[in-house]
Structure 1
Amino acid sequence: MLNNIGLPGLLLIAVVVLVLFGRGKISSLMGEVGKGITAFKKGVSDGTKELEEASAEESTAETTAEKDKA
């Protein structure tokens, strides 16, 4: 169904949205979307760092345990 929407259709939808909501409302909404994307990327980055740190701590603990056995 959405595959049949071409460039003219998208432009028409954009004009209708602009008329309904106004330029100010749309720009503030896009600003909020940008902040949300930035927060999401930061969260993913922080989660990746935590996983890497946990993995590094595990490997250090395993190495120390192996040295203690020897």
Structure 2
Amino acid sequence: MKLTAKTDIEAPASFVYAALIDHAAWEREIIRRGAEIDRPADMPLTGVGAGWNLRVPFRGKVRKCRSGLMK
């Protein structure tokens, strides 16, 4: 599945980029929302190829998904 979203942001590009690549902040936010997250050992921590395994409660069931940075 490929998801795309576009939003105009009134902030310097460097500020927006720094917020988007802050993986630790994204992981904390996911955990706060009730999901479980871990990183596969065979994937890098940052950059292209970084990935996560997620277990997310959704509509009464725990759903599993794998997310990663492709480009």
TM-score scaled by length of structure 1? 0.24
Larger Rg: 1
Normalized per residue, which structure has more helix? 1
Normalized per residue, which structure has more strand? 2
TM-score scaled by length of structure 2? 0.24
